[in-house]
């Protein structure tokens, strides 16, 4: 509550300052401990012959034969005498095998080809904690490992996705280094290319987010009433136009949106060629999702008055944090599927202690080493994430006109 007596207001403000100072320091220490000695996140995981066979869809025997003949990138022997490949070698193997097996070259090197348009996938829902960020980053890492060129854009001032990439917004980002820089209205604006940074994850680049993104919400109303116009256009066109300058560098862009329907979320929904609405199958979440859909539909009418249309190649609901043994959840999943039919992805993102455990280490399932969480839990969680991500990739490939 805001009291009129100013000492009370100051008390709260100074208390909060005290909290953030302590919490910032603690977060900083946690990171130093986690990524010692460089405090930079790296891709530590290696790949076994079995992992590679699955990823590249080649028989293990082929990979073993290459090792015996000393052809292509050579794996190291781990302590347990198992062969392990680094993530760079996975990439080299794609090129090596593609030359060896021209029939499979398209699958081994799956990047976008002529006539296939850039895919921009936004995860959205204004319900907090519906798994938007978890879904986005798992999809991004999955696509990176599959050999695609991926750009992640964090449009959430909370910057959870940025943090999962090992960038602590309070320490690692200077002024004007986020997505806000690329869509702002004043002459401090930078091109999107200037705020893209490579990440430790192969094939995946990032435009980070931080609290600056809030300014877009404050600036937009006054820009709309002023007569100033620049080449990026109105609020909803700005992300889309900014992206057009880096289009050729990527196959798939992933937009992580905040749990609100502000101007930046609208810009993301408009820039997106496809939408994934993440919904936890529980009564309040589904009810809130309905409110979200009503708001989108109202807003698309408003956009219509500007001559803009919401058009998407695909629009799917994804059921998240699903516990298959939970009766009420099963009921709500049933309701979603009955009402929305094929617009609900067949695959569901299962609730998993492996995801929760990975998040603590700021990792996705795709970068965990065996042993970091329970083996069975990890296996089941990866199977679930793979099913979701392969289904989304299938939709992308369909848009590109590739056969399944």
Ligand X SMILES: Nc1ncnc2c1ncn2[C@@H]1O[C@H](COP(=O)(O)OP(=O)(O)OP(=O)(O)O)[C@@H](O)[C@H]1O
Contact residues toward ligand X (CB under 6 A) are 128-134, 156, 158, 160, 259, 320-321, 349-352, 355-356, 359
Task: Pick from 89, 133, 135, 352 the residue near Mg ion by CB under 5 A.
Answer: 133
# of chain residues touching Mg ion (CB under 5 A): 3
Query: Residue 243 or residue 382: which is nearer to ligand X going by CB?
Result: 382
The least distance separating ligand X from the CB of residue 81, rounded to whole angstroms, comes to 34
In whole angstroms, what is the distance from residue 342 CA to residue 340 CA?
6
The least distance separating Mg ion from the CB of residue 238, rounded to whole angstroms, comes to 21
The least distance separating ligand X from the CB of residue 306, rounded to whole angstroms, comes to 27
* Residue 129 binding result from ligand X, Mg ion, none, given CB thresholds of 5 to 8 Å by partner type: ligand X
Query: Residue 85 or residue 201: which is nearer to ligand X going by CB?
Result: 201
Query: Residue 135 or residue 220: which is nearer to Mg ion going by CB?
Result: 135
Instruction: Tell me which residue has its CB nearest to Mg ion.
Output: 133
The least distance separating ligand X from the CB of residue 259, rounded to whole angstroms, comes to 3
Query: Residue 159 or residue 234: which is nearer to ligand X going by CB?
Result: 159
Query: Residue 154 or residue 205: which is nearer to ligand X going by CB?
Result: 154
Query: Residue 90 or residue 159: which is nearer to ligand X going by CB?
Result: 159
Task: Pick from 31, 41, 94, 132 the residue near Mg ion by CB under 5 A.
Answer: 132
Burial letters 80-95, b for 16+ CB under 10 A, else e: eeebbbbbebbbebbe
Query: Residue 105 or residue 359: which is nearer to ligand X going by CB?
Result: 359
Q: Which stretch binds Mg ion (CB under 5 A): 48-56, 74-82, 124-132, 395-403?
A: 124-132
In whole angstroms, what is the distance from residue 375 CA to residue 32 CA?
27
**Is the distance from CB of 294 to CB of 162 less than 8 angstroms?**
no
Q: Which stretch binds Mg ion (CB under 5 A): 72-80, 155-163, 216-224, 289-297?
A: 155-163
* By CB under 5 A, residue 160 contacts Mg ion: yes
The least distance separating ligand X from the CB of residue 388, rounded to whole angstroms, comes to 10
In whole angstroms, what is the distance from residue 231 CA to residue 185 CA?
10
* By CB under 5 A, residue 220 contacts Mg ion: no
Query: Residue 31 or residue 132: which is nearer to ligand X going by CB?
Result: 132
In whole angstroms, what is the distance from residue 124 CA to residue 346 CA?
18
The least distance separating ligand X from the CB of residue 383, rounded to whole angstroms, comes to 12
The least distance separating ligand X from the CB of residue 172, rounded to whole angstroms, comes to 19
* By CB under 5 A, residue 125 contacts Mg ion: no
* Residue 130 binding result from Mg ion, ligand X, none, given CB thresholds of 5 to 8 Å by partner type: ligand X
The least distance separating Mg ion from the CB of residue 51, rounded to whole angstroms, comes to 28
* Residue 199 binding result from Mg ion, ligand X, none, given CB thresholds of 5 to 8 Å by partner type: none
Q: Check the CA dihedral 368-371-377-380 and report its sign.
A: positive
The least distance separating Mg ion from the CB of residue 152, rounded to whole angstroms, comes to 12
Query: Residue 144 or residue 258: which is nearer to ligand X going by CB?
Result: 258
* Interface residue list for Mg ion (CB under 5 A): 132-133, 160
């Amino acid at each position: 509550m805001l009291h009129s007596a100013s000492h009370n207001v100051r008390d709260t403000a100074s208390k909060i300052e005290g909290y953030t100072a302590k919490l910032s320091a603690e977060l900083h220490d946690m990171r130093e401990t986690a990524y010692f000695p460089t405090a930079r996140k790296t891709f530590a995981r290696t790949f076994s012959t079995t992992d590679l066979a699955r990823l590249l869809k080649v028989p293990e025997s082929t990979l073993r034969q290459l090792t015996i003949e000393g052809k292509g990138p050579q794996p190291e022997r781990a302590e347990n005498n198992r062969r392990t490949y680094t993530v760079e070698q996975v990439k080299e193997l794609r090129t090596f095998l593609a030359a060896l097996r021209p029939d499979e070259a398209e699958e081994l090197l799956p990047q976008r080809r002529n006539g296939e348009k850039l895919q921009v996938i936004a995860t959205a829902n204004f319900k907090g904690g519906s798994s938007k960020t978890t879904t986005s980053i798992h999809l991004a890492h999955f696509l990176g490992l599959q050999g695609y060129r991926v750009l992640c854009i964090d449009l959430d001032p909370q910057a959870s996705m940025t943090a999962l990439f090992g960038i602590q917004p309070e320490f690692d980002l200077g002024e004007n280094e986020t997505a806000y820089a690329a869509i702002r209205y004043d002459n401090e604006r930078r091109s999107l290319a200037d705020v893209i940074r490579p990440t430790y994850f192969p094939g995946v680049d990032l435009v980070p987010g931080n609290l600056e993104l809030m300014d877009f919400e404050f600036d937009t109303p006054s820009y709309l009433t002023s007569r100033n116009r620049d080449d990026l256009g109105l609020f909803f066109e700005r992300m889309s136009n900014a992206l057009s300058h880096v289009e050729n560098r990527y196959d798939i862009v992933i937009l992580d949106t905040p749990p609100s329907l502000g101007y930046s979320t609208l810009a993301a929904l408009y820039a997106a060629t496809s939408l994934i609405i993440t919904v936890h199958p529980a009564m309040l979440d589904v009810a809130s999702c309905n409110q979200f859909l009503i708001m989108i539909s109202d807003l698309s009418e408003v956009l219509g008055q500007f001559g803009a249309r919401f058009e998407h190649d695909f629009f799917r609901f994804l059921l998240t944090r699903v516990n298959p043994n939970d009766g009420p959840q099963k009921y709500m999943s049933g309701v979603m599927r009955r009402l929305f039919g094929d617009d609900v992805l067949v695959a569901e993102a299962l609730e998993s202690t492996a995801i929760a455990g990975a998040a603590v280490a700021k990792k996705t399932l795709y970068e965990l080493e065996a042993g970091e969480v329970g083996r069975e839990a990890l296996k089941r969680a990866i199977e679930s994430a793979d099913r979701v991500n392969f289904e989304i990739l299938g939709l992308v490939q369909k848009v590109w006109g590739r056969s399944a």
